Structure 1
């Protein structure tokens, strides 16, 4: 029997990573960026840093699982989809690395997990500029990813979303 879905572990990691990354992008953009760098910010930064590291680990796990487990049959636009997934993975990993380097370079790691203090402004650090730009790129890539999935589901009607655990077990037609 041919399977049309990704493995349950891949589906679970995909949706956990997706929810976590969206949460981090929204809270980082609309909460953390707006808070002054006072001691009151350290709790929020601690959560962001821990969850950001977890998101990076989820992406690495997704890459490893993708290499080790069989994939469903190709669909229309598969090369473009692979490029989009590669870009998303690289940008999320860039966010994790730039966030880690920023935390170490700025002293935020010591302030959040030790006894240090936050810098007056994170924008003076190059990794912060990279982190901010990468977050905007990630938002754009996520929007494109979602639009492509909806296009496949409602225009092409190839049951692509069923491969990630949404919809019927076997798509009506495969390309």
Structure 2
């Protein structure tokens, strides 16, 4: 049974980062990818880039807090959880890095914060391919993360979600 919560700062950063990352993945995949590289795309792209940097900062903050605050008691499958979190953190940081490299390599920063035009197409740049593949990997890892949390909550019934502020922190097998 899990009866201890993460620190409020860890919980807040987790849920803020989760919402932000899901928003970025959905809008990047369903909106930005389909917009032609015209002047109308610049505002959306600027917003996406700023939020992407914020997501990267939040992931780094989560890692720092995890190292500085006491560890919670281990749960069933802790090794897999650690590997999953590490993979998810790394893939999000890869998304931030590949997005930044795309902006630099393509010259899009001049369009976003100056008066230049966007390149005709981002797909010709290697960081764009990496960004696209990393976004799909992030979606898969997030799906696994959610499924693992639901498995713990409803099958193992160890109150794992309570550690992240959802529900009573006294849930367990009855």
Who is 1:112 aligned against?
Answer: 112
Who is 1:75 aligned against?
Answer: 75
Who is 1:30 aligned against?
Answer: 30
**How many residue pairs end up in the alignment?**
172
Aligned partners of 1:164, 1:70: CA distance in 2, in Å?
15
3-state SS of the aligned residue for 2:47? helix
Unaligned runs of at least 5 residues, structure 1: none
Who is 2:150 aligned against?
Answer: 150
Who is 1:126 aligned against?
Answer: 126
Who is 2:17 aligned against?
Answer: 17
Unaligned runs of at least 5 residues, structure 2: none
Q: Answer whether contact 2:108 2:118 (CA < 8 A) is retained.
A: yes
Deviation at 1:23, TM superposition (A): 0.1
3-state SS of the aligned residue for 1:155? helix
3-state SS of the aligned residue for 2:37? coil
Q: Answer whether contact 2:3 2:163 (CA < 8 A) is retained.
A: no
3-state SS of the aligned residue for 2:73? coil
Deviation at 1:108, TM superposition (A): 1.1
Output the TM-score relative to the length of structure 1.
0.96
Which of 1 and 2 has higher RCO (CA within 8 Å, sep 6+)?
2
The RMSD of aligned alpha carbons is 1.2
Deviation at 1:171, TM superposition (A): 3.6
1:25-64 alignment to 2 at 5 Å? 25-64=25-64
Aligned partners of 1:171, 1:3: CA distance in 2, in Å?
7
Deviation at 1:3, TM superposition (A): 6.5
Q: Answer whether contact 2:84 2:141 (CA < 8 A) is retained.
A: yes
Q: Answer whether contact 1:88 1:141 (CA < 8 A) is retained.
A: yes
Who is 1:92 aligned against?
Answer: 92
